[in-house]
Amino acid sequence: MTAVLTHNRIGQFVRRNSNHGYRTGQWAQIVMAIRSQGRDCWLVIYHDGETDVIPVDNPEDRYTFRCEPVDWRS
């Protein structure tokens, strides 16, 4: 994914759709794009204020995105 597409996701909501990973299936809002361990990532925040770093280009994890607010608890 290019840097432009990475930054275009800021403000959107994202959730992991895999069977593994931290808080899989829970919605989080993308706060900013960052570099972590040499990879492009998103800094996200969950409904309870907890944050996480999600790799942008991660072929093992599939993501769902939404532009509008969601019920973060589902």
Rounded distance, CA 39 to CA 16, Å? 18
The answer to whether the beta carbons of residues 48 and 29 sit under 8 Å apart is no
Total of domains in the chain: 1
Structure tokens at 58: 């991660």
60: CATH: 2.30.30
Q: Is residue 71 part of a domain?
A: no
Residue 7 maps to a domain? yes
Per-residue model confidence as pLDDT tens digits over 43-71: 999 999 999 999 888 666 688 899 887 67
Q: What pTM was estimated for this model as a whole?
A: 0.81
- Is residue 34 within 8 Å of 42, Cβ to Cβ? yes
* Residue 74: inside a domain: no
- Residue holding tokens 């599939």? 62
Tell me if 29 is assigned to some domain.
yes
Query: Taking Cα atoms as reference points, which of 71, 49, 43, 54 lies closest to residue 18?
Result: 54
In a domain, residue 56? The reply is yes
Q: Which range marks the domain in which residue 33 is found? A: 3-66
